[in-house]
Amino acid sequence: MTMIELMPNKNRGAAVDTSAYSFAATEPIRNLHTSLDVYKETPLIKLNFPNIGTVYVKDESQRFGLKAFKGLGGVWAIYKVISDELGLNNPPLEEIFKHRAELAAMTFITTTDGNHGKGVSWAAGLFGCKSYVYMPKGTVEVRAQAIRDAGSATVTITDMNYDDCVKYTARLAREKHWHLIQDTSWTSYEEIPAQIILGYTTLAYEALWQMKYQRPTHIFLQAGVGSMAGAIAAVFAEVFKNNPPRVTIVEPTEVACFYETIRISDGEIHSATGNGQTMMAGLNCATPCELAWKILRRYAADAATISDDVAADAMKVLAEHKIISGESGCAGFALANAARNSPELRRELEIDEDAIIFVINTEGDTDPDNYEKILQ
């Protein structure tokens, strides 16, 4: 059953200092990313549709050979931890690689529903470190194997939900003195998530350059814990200070923590209340990242929920345009795609034929069997 719900953000938060997301402040992050042998700017595809104008799709399915954007945050956060452990300040990679013995003694750990763990596994392997990745119940084995194949990780699918799995890995990290690289924050755990969020700024500045700094009227950003959405919203707010684009958060109907937080609108973070069943596995996170929420509370105009069939339709449309988009990867575009044939949704989103919409294809076919099944 097709379902799309929109919840206006009627309680916008206090002003947020986005200077840390400026082009100058994030230069060391881009320097690291572009110094990697596998670095290549991912494509920005311009699509035009009746009723909704221009849609720019940033295709992260081609990032670092990982089929997802998450490596940007993981490699920057791990690089920062390693640099601090070695007493170095944003060193070139060749300087880090002089410390092979110290690197081999470092262990990183995380919880993931897929792509973040792949990024951590890849980045830890890149530096010659060990890593452990724990995944929530219901994870398909192909996602676990992709994490193993990406780098150095030992991967375990647990019988816990995502939030409980995060608590478990945090406890293991404390007990074993490993480095927790988690892409969500909570009180007393903010520095690493902040670096992960900053790592995603490379994606935003690539897109801005590719668009010749044209201002989008709308940005539709899928959110699990919201780290990527927070980073993109912060960059565009910093660049277009006087008139930031209209940002909408997009989540699965049954796992919609930002939607729920905006619905209650009491200034606190709230967990999703749905049944947790969605094919959009990368967005199956029940509680927002506190750091991301501080940004999105200010800059998100609203939150939208979409059912799985809305995502499936978007995957098919993107495939027609030669864009391979997985179940979570298509979510931002799915909202734009649904608006094509819905005057009511266009009115709610303030979209017309002159709109310029920016979305991110955050992943490719990370579950190839399901991808082929949907496209049949």
Q: Which residues are the active-site residues? A: 70, 113
Written as one letter, the residue type at 214 is: Q
Report residue 147 as tokens. Answer: 């994490």
* C-beta neighbour count of 37 within 10 angstroms: 8
Q: The tokens of 33 are what? A: 């990313």
Element (H, E) at 108: strand 107-111
Residue 72: strand, helix, or coil: helix
Residues 261, 120: Cα–Cα separation, whole Å = 28
Residue 7 to residues 147, 220, 277, Cα–Cα distance (Å): 35, 14, 21
3-class secondary structure, 82 = helix
- The Cα 349–Cα 248 span in angstroms is 8
Cα(159)–Cα(202) distance, integer angstroms: 35
Residues across the chain:
376
